[in-house]
Structures are given as structure tokens and as C-alpha cells.
Chain A
Amino acid sequence: LAKTTQPISMDSYEGQEVNITCSHNNIATNDYITWYQQFPSQGPRFIIQGYKTKVTNEVASLFIPADRKSSTLSLPRVSLSDTAVYYCLVGERYSSASKIIFGSGTRLSIRP
């Protein structure tokens, strides 16, 4: 299983762009990279998933370099409601039974 490393915490201000980088040096060829968001007292919620290059949806962008040993979640113009814990996961595709392991995540605090 590929282990991920993220910053423990980050602070930013409303309206700023926030980039959270995740390191996954031993990512396997078949692994997707998935990011989840968790608000206090709630279960994690899927944000975005990628394999290589860049993926963008209505919530965030995910940048993955060619070697795929890291990935960066980009949140444009954050608001107070983006205060949450963000988890980066790598794992095998569904075609193989696999354990889906969460790391410690990055605690993002947005200030007015």
C-alpha cells in the first residue's frame, strides 16, 4: 500500500487560493489518487480523483506531475466553509480487493 505524507495543518484567508501537497513516493502503476474532505462530526466526503496530469471539477483542481510521486489539491478562493480536514489517498482500483487506508490528513483553517 502506498503511504501518503501531508502537512499536518495549514492556515489561509478567505479569498485566497490554497494548495495542499501530498507525497506518495511508492505509488503503484494502477493507483488512483483521491482526496476527501471532512468537516467536524461528519464522515469524509469525496472531493476529486485523478491518475495523471490535471483534473478539475466544480470544487477543486488536482495537479499530478509526470512521475506521480506527489499530487497537489488546489482550492480556489477559499471561504470560511472550507475549514476542514483534507485527506489524500492512493489505492488500487476497484478491480482488486484492497484496503483503503487514510493518513492523518491536513487540517485547513480559513480565517476572515
Chain B
Amino acid sequence: NAGVTQTPKFQVLKTGQSMTLQCAQDMNHEYMSWYRQDPGMGLRLIHYSVGAGITDQGEVPNGYNVSRSTTEDFPLRLLSAAPSQTSVYFCASRSPGGRLGEETQYFGPGTRLLVL
């Protein structure tokens, strides 16, 4: 049980390039999400998904696309990278729980993105 995995761990892009950040979970969680975290700041929600084929926008969705074709995978696409997208990106999946103490998110190790 690997939990939530993210690739790559680190990426450098030039302005205007596109790329896909990969996220996968093996816990059969329906709910998955993407956050970005700028230096010294809290996490901001980019997009989330409540199940395969269903996605919705978070707080800062502009410049990012997502899709959810399977329960396991939730890739994040940067359409045309900008320096303002330099950040650490975290993917998370949420335990359905249903009971107090069990409705929690599990986070991946993060992808550090530098846009020049």
C-alpha cells in the first residue's frame, strides 16, 4: 500500500511550456484534490474530484486542467507555464470514513515546480 504517489519530485520548466503532474493513490478513495503551496504560505486548493469523471474548481483553478478517468489517477496539467506557477504541488486523497476521526486527507510527497 503506497498511499498517494506523485511524479516527478522536481521539475524545471520554461515559460510557455506545458506539462502534467501525475498523482496516483491505491486506497480506492473517491475524493482527490490538488493544492499548491507557495513559500511560507498555506495550501490553496486548485481542483478536486469526487469520483471518476467528476471534477470541480477550487480556489485557484486558472492555468490548470484536470481530468479523472480512473479512481486511482488524478493528473494536473499546466497548459502554458508561467513564473507565477512556481510552487510546490500536493495531491491528496480523502478517506470516506463516515465516522469521526476517519474523514481525513492523505497527502503525497509533493512536486516542486520551478518556472523560469
A residues neighboring B (CB under 8 Å): 32, 34, 36, 41-46, 48-51, 55, 57, 85, 87, 93-95, 97, 99-105
Contact = CB atoms under 8 A, between A and B. Distances in A.
Contact of B48 (A87, A93, A100): A100
Interface residues of B, number: 32
Contacts of B95: 94
Secondary structure at the A interface, as helix, strand, loop or mixed, is loop
A32 B103 contact: yes
B97 A94 contact: yes
B100 A87 contact: no
B90 A103 contact: no
A108 B41 CA distance: 14
Contacts of B110: 41-43
Contact of B45 (A41, A97, A102): A102
Contacts of B50: 97
A100 B42 contact: no
A30 to B, nearest CB: 11
A46 B104 contact: yes
Given A49-B102, A85-B42, A99-B48, 7 more contacts: A32-B103, A51-B100, A57-B101, A93-B103, A97-B31, A102-B42, A104-B42
A74 B93 CA distance: 26
A100 B107 contact: no
B94 interface: yes
A73 to B, nearest CB: 14
Given A42-B110, A44-B43, A100-B94, A49 B104 contact: yes
B48 A102 contact: no
